[in-house]
Amino acid sequence: MASSKTSAAFGSSVQMAAKARTLLVLVLLDRVSAQGINTCQVTNPTVSPCQFTCVDGSIYDLTSIRDRTPGHYMHVADDGQGHEYFVGVCSQLQGFTCDSQTASAMQTWGSPQPPHFYGNCATLGEYSNMHCSSIAPLPSQPYSSGGMSCDFSGGEGGRSYTVKYNCALQDVQPTASQPGSYAYLISMSSPALCNQVGPGGGKQGLSGGSLFLILGSLAGAAYLVGGVYVNNKYHGLSGREALPHREKWGQLPGLVKDGCDFSYAHAKFAYKAFMDWYSTGHVEPALKEEMLGATDDAAETKVDDDKA
């Protein structure tokens, strides 16, 4: 009887633990969903208001897009339904008003006369209500796809809009559409809108210099550790004596000094020869002999060092 009660209590505890674990997973998923795993934020609003850094490591810079027009905005001439759009880049629309209201984007119709519209416009959103996220590149087109998408809310009558900055091999004029009754989509494509650190947030691979440093460091460490091990195990050496090719490496400072002296001497002679030629039009025979003598002396010194 006691055994059955114990088993029942154990089973109940297991069920409660499973429910708690499931609840914890749901809470974590909800937290991740709320935060957005690919969220992008302005890196430094004061210094770099057009540079965005995303959670996945990608970086997008809209500076060149902003600077294409003096007013720092995009203009979409027509969406096919008689509407025009003025969209601020990296800020609210500067100097534009719609019925005396400011916004980060405006839709106009009829015969608008920018930058101030009256009765023929609607505000679409506020820059302060911006939320951006990165768009993952296609595996087949890692350097010519992907980009960043930014949502803006707070427009007139609950309007909102999305700007998709698409990475592409060439510039494409921005387009506008209205996928919902109060939702708008602005899309533009350009090489300037590609991830600044390569596809996947800098996961395109290491540069040649980085590979050289890493492989060189690993090779040097392997040489040092392997040399010490061989000298210690097979030659009975320890301490400094176990360092591989210790005598050769000890000559390195002297060889570097000889190389510097050799280079300095020849640079000095070359300068003298140039100044001699510049002032007289030819090089004095004595200076030629002095240069040749210095070369022969250096060669003889190197041979003697090699023999030693």
Q: What does the DSSP assignment read for 84-114?
A: EEEEESSSSPSS-EETTB--SEEEEESS--T
CA distance 28 to 35: 11
As a residue count, the chain comes to 308
CB atoms within 10 A of CB 188: 23
Q: Is the dihedral of CA 295, 297, 299, 301 positive or negative?
A: negative
For the stretch 44-87, pLDDT in tens is: 988 889 999 999 888 999 998 898 877 888 888 778 888 999 99
186 with 159: CB under 8 angstroms? no
Provide the CATH topology of domain 42-202.
Answer: Cation-dependent Mannose-6-phosphate Receptor; Chain A (2.70.130)
Say what the alpha-carbon torsion angle 185, 187, 193, 199 is, to the nearest 10 degrees: 80
pLDDT band for position 139 (50/70/90)? Answer: confident
The Cα 78–Cα 308 span in angstroms is 85
Of residues 308 and 149, more confidently modeled? 149
**Mean pLDDT to the nearest integer, 268-273:** 78
Residue 201 has pLDDT above 90, yes or no: no
Amino acid letter for position 148: M
Residues 6 or more apart whose Cβ sits within 8 Å of residue 81: 178
**Cα-Cα-Cα-Cα dihedral sign, residues 96, 131, 190, 57:** positive
Report pTM: 0.54
Confidence of residue 151 (pLDDT cuts 50, 70, 90): very high
Q: Is the dihedral of CA 220, 222, 225, 228 positive or negative?
A: negative
DSSP string, 127-160: EEEEEEEEEPPBTTBTTSS-EEEEEEEE-GGG-E
CATH 2.70.130.10 residue spans of the chain: 42-202
Using one digit for the tens of pLDDT, what is the confidence trace for 78-125? 788 889 999 999 999 999 999 999 999 999 998 777 889 999 999 999
pLDDT higher at 215 or 7: 215
Closest listed residue to residue 188, CA positions, set 76, 71, 86, 90 = 76
pLDDT: which is higher, 206 or 159? 159
H-assigned helices in the chain:
2-35, 63-66, 199-202, 208-235, 246-250, 252-280, 285-307
